[in-house]
Structure 1
Amino acid sequence: MTKIIMRLQFSKTCAFSIVAFLFLFSVKAQDKPEIKIGGALRFNYNLSSWKDGQKKRGGDFGYDMFRVNAKGAYKGIQLNAEYRYYSEGFGGGMLKQGWLGYNFNERDQIQVGLTQVPFGIQQYNSHNWFFNLTYYVGLEDDHDMGIKYMHTSNRFEYQLAFFKNAEELGFGNNSEVSPNRYSYDVAGRNKEINQFNGKFVYKFGKKSASRLGVSLQYGGLYNLDTEEVGNHSAVAAHYELNKGKWNVKAQFITAAHNPENADSEDRAVVTMAAYGAPYQVAADFNMYSLGISRNIPVKLGPVSNLQFYNDFAYMEKKAAGFTDSYMNVTGVLVSAGNVYTYFDYAAGYNHSWLGGNFVDDFAKGNPNAVWEARFNINIGYYF
């Protein structure tokens, strides 16, 4: 009973703090509302090594995604939202992000709502259309429901955040997390709750070309069967270099999940979900990633820049008998006005989205797996 009372008091305190922030700072800033609408329309071609029928057809070309972006400001309160429409097979419509914000000054900002989790290299730990392995385990471009404070100065950046939970779409007493979401979260019989994040970055070198940082994450895992709260945690060390036309991203992550499952449920794996489908992920793992890119300005009709890149990642699973996972993407991003086209050759070993067994490639895996690859072209008009 004491735990329940403490949780209720904690939730009320968080809600009161959010309302107080919005009320206190709504008295300043511009008198007229501002709104900007943008978005993107994307199409996708792919040819996969593990799909015999597709290879006989010479690949498939079709609709990828349409999105709408809205940015607004009024009375000092900012709005930032992005809604995406995928095909039904990939989850249909979903809110990627949506938050209210306030700038205290040029260096400090607060955001409330569905906002990006401050963890690792941001905005992306990758250069390609597929992202990196970090994305597929919920540790790249993740967005959750909560409140975040950000500070930026010439030498230092830090972010502190509390997330009540991931995107909640059901609101039932014992409803599972919906898989119709943009970013990967723990799903199935567990739910992410009361998560704390901290991120610190030190910038150095000419024009702060180097960014050296550390990220911490800790939160609860509420189990719908046992009604007990387990925990999950992750620590990352990361470095990013921007020098001339070159960019380098290097990162190490160690992560652990300790769910309070029912006795019949395996605790060596957790279920994660996004894009309309769940799969299993090893509960405890280390992950190593390295990405490099180079821009080459050109004048080829509407084409103004070519960005060549290679992104690599290795997932080291800690459970005995599990087979590790790998991912490598080599490609080029072609920029032509508002059109951005990714040409990717994505290869994976025990990778759920790159051949093999979708359900448990990122969990137990297959020791007899082979490398599979997908040639992909994504064409997007951004407005």
Structure 2
Amino acid sequence: MVEKITRVHFSKTICLAILGFLLAFPIVAQEKPELKIGGALRFNYNLSSWKDGQKKRGGDFGYDMFRINAAAAYKGIFLNAEYRLYSEDFGGGFLKQGWVGYNFNELDQIHIGLTQVPFGIQQYNSHNWFFNLTYYVGLEDDHDMGVKYLHTGEKFEYQLAFFKNAEELRFGNNTETSPNRYSYDITGRNKEVNQFNGKFIYKFGKESASRLGVSLQYGGLYNLDTEEMGDHNAFAAHYEITKGNWNGKAQFITASHNPENAGGEPTDVVMMAAYGAPYEVAADFNMYSLAISRNVPVEWGPVSNLQFYNDFAFMQKKASGFADSYMNVTGVLVSAGSVYTYIDYAAGYNHSWLGGNFVDDFSKGNPDAKWEARFNINIGYYF
């Protein structure tokens, strides 16, 4: 009797195992790799107050950027990549982002590669085509090489990351970081290394969805001349609210850079670069930004929505004698099917991209500077 029971039990186990395998096999067999390809083609018109020749000819209209996006997934592992091609004067072609990720569950995942640095309001601390002043000092939509852990809960979100360095395009022993990149990083005789980031978000409210958070950043600055390690750090407190068609973003940042430069080299400025062009940035500063937008749904042929916005930022430089920088962009985003058009009036004071001398507007600046402005229309087809 015992032997018979044992045989029956064994037979049921085998049958259940075979049945389980057969039931599972079709699911595995149906799992196929996913691949999505997208991109955009953009053109740009601009008319700048500080360019006399351009004003006489009524502005310039030309090529802005072509990009390819790829998203892939298979067995819980996924890929996200974006390659952009600008004109040679703006750095040519480079990878904006490119990382491999893995979902541990519905709430937790990990990214490895060239991934967005978890700092401040994301994805953008702005609504306009120019971004906000935070972008031009490497603290908005920055991407570096490293590993990032993300947790997205109902009430809380947090991200922890370690970045070995900024995106590296030159692998020589003492080569400077290439300025041909999408996001602003330290360049010149210093290199960003071994950076740690932490970001925490508390979410509350239903009709008025709010995101209150803090961000921390600390990393090394390796000097190619002295071969010594300096450091840099930043802290941000940020709040974003969405209520109906309205959105608001408010943020405070304090940042400090302490390079170990060679004798005679200044330590109150650092070099940063993107789009093929380096400039100076004040080593220590506070930054305040406020952005607001409102969506207005319309039915004008292909036009379905108008998003009106105003984005403002103020850079308070801590070094004695340095003149502060300001930026304000007022505009509207016109959505028409796959075509998105930004119409912006961007004004800047001691701003490298808005009428300054470019090299030192974000560092010592000019106490006698005046506000300059650029009227800009960016037309993009996104697919």
TM-score by length of 2: 0.92
User: For 1:143-158, what aligned pairs fall within 5 Å after superposition?
Assistant: 143-158=143-158
Which residue matches 1:160?
Answer: 160
| Partners of 1:152 and 1:236 in 2: CA distance | 20
SS of 1:289 mapped into structure 2: strand
Which residue matches 1:314?
Answer: 314
| Partners of 1:171 and 1:205 in 2: CA distance | 48
1:307 shift after superposition = 0.2
Residues 302 and 75 (structure 1 numbering): CA distance in 2 closer, same or farther, change over 3 Å? same
Contact 1:222 1:228 in 2 (8 A): yes
1:304 shift after superposition = 0.1
TM-score by length of 1: 0.92
Which residue matches 1:12?
Answer: none
* Large movers: runs of 4+ above 3 Å: 28-31
Which residue matches 1:124?
Answer: 124
Which residue matches 2:176?
Answer: 176
State the one-letter code of the partner of 2:70: A
Which residue matches 1:43?
Answer: 43
Contact 2:207 2:244 in 1 (8 A): no
State the one-letter code of the partner of 1:361: D
Which residue matches 1:337?
Answer: 337
| Partners of 2:139 and 2:205 in 1: CA distance | 27
State the one-letter code of the partner of 1:151: H
| Partners of 1:36 and 1:192 in 2: CA distance | 33
State the one-letter code of the partner of 2:378: N
1:324 shift after superposition = 0.1
1:264 shift after superposition = 1.6
1:29 shift after superposition = 11
String of CA shifts for 1:161-192, please: whole Å, max 9, x gaps: 00000000000000000000000000000000
SS of 1:130 mapped into structure 2: coil
| Partners of 1:305 and 1:357 in 2: CA distance | 37
Which residue matches 1:73?
Answer: 73
Which residue matches 1:218?
Answer: 218
| Partners of 2:31 and 2:228 in 1: CA distance | 49
User: Is the counterpart of residue 294 in structure 1 residue 288 in structure 2?
Assistant: no
State the one-letter code of the partner of 2:351: H
Which residue matches 1:104?
Answer: 104
1:356 shift after superposition = 1.6
User: Is the counterpart of residue 56 in structure 1 residue 56 in structure 2?
Assistant: yes
State the one-letter code of the partner of 1:110: I
Query: Which protein has the larger Cα radius of gyration, Structure 1 or Structure 2?
Result: 2
Give the unaligned 5+ runs of structure 2.
1-27
Residues 30 and 81 (structure 1 numbering): CA distance in 2 closer, same or farther, change over 3 Å? farther
Residues 29 and 157 (structure 1 numbering): CA distance in 2 closer, same or farther, change over 3 Å? farther
| Partners of 1:263 and 1:328 in 2: CA distance | 38
SS of 2:323 mapped into structure 1: coil
Contact 2:208 2:243 in 1 (8 A): no
Which residue matches 1:283?
Answer: 283
Give the unaligned 5+ runs of structure 1.
1-27
1:207 shift after superposition = 5.7
Q: What is the total number of aligned residue pairs between the two structures?
A: 356
| Partners of 1:171 and 1:247 in 2: CA distance | 43
| Partners of 1:97 and 1:205 in 2: CA distance | 32
1:206 shift after superposition = 1.1
Deviates more, 1:255-264 or 1:31-40: 31-40
SS of 2:146 mapped into structure 1: strand
String of CA shifts for 1:104-139, please: whole Å, max 9, x gaps: 111001000000000000000000000000000000
| Partners of 2:93 and 2:206 in 1: CA distance | 43
SS of 1:320 mapped into structure 2: coil
